[in-house]
A and B are shown apart, each in its own frame.
Chain A
Amino acid sequence: KAGVTQTPRYLIKTRGQQVTLSCSPISGHRSVSWYQQTPGQGLQFLFEYFSETQRNKGNFPGRFSGRQFSNSRSEMNVSTLELGDSALYLCASSFGLAGADTQYFGPGTRLTVL
């Protein structure tokens, strides 16, 4: 079974631009979560989707948004990029929402904002 895939793997943008990152979950998984990883803040939760509905959102400004499609694929968008948005963005999928449902991560998208 294929793992979680994320595209693109690397991205370079300039301040003020917007960016869209894509995540394809493991086949059959309906929950997708996004995390931001930076050296200073560590791993921080962005948002979570299940069956096309955002269930939970972390403490990030409204410039960060996301959505999930009917095939469970998810996208996240960051508008008006700032230098501090440079980070590794990780997507994780799980089968459902039960306690033991493990989140499996993709390889990440490394975003650099210049």
Chain B
Amino acid sequence: AQKITQTQPGMFVQEKEAVTLDCTYDTSDPSYGLFWYKQPSSGEMIFLIYQGSYDQQNATEGRYSLNFQKARKSANLVISASQLGDSAMYFCAMRELQTGANNLFFGTGTRLTVIP
């Protein structure tokens, strides 16, 4: 079964507007971590933000915030004040902590295009 689902293959946003990228996950592990990465056309995966399953507050990092709804198993990324440099692929990923494995499960990604 797919552990991470990103249903938006592509999204467009006007420069300076906010955008939400959707991510839902599936796990029976009560302890897990959720990550968002950005991948520009150069290929390097850039870490954006982390949310732990037991964190009470939604994570924020500068213009990035994570809308974590545990009961709905969703971890949407919100980018505020979009910039042209935000155009890239965005991946949601999960690590299951009780298994002891360190690997990440990735979604299929969302391609964000920022329009001037």
| Residues of A bordering B, CB below 8 Å | 31, 33, 35, 42-43, 45, 48, 50, 55-56, 58, 88, 90, 92, 94, 97, 99-108, 110
Contact = CB atoms under 8 A, between A and B. Distances in A.
A88 B39 CA distance: 12
Q: Which of the four size classes fits the interface of chain B?
A: 20 to 34
Contacts of B14: none
A102 B59 CA distance: 14
Contact of A99 (B31, B45, B91): B31
A56 B35 contact: no
Interface stretch (B19-27, B63-71, B95-103): B95-103
A55 B33 CA distance: 19
Given A102-B50, A108-B44, A42 B106 contact: yes
B47 A103 contact: yes
A94 B47 CA distance: 12
B31, B32, B97: which has the most chain A beta carbons within 10 Å? Answer: B97
Given A88-B43, A90-B45, A99-B95, A50 B106 contact: no
B47 A48 contact: no
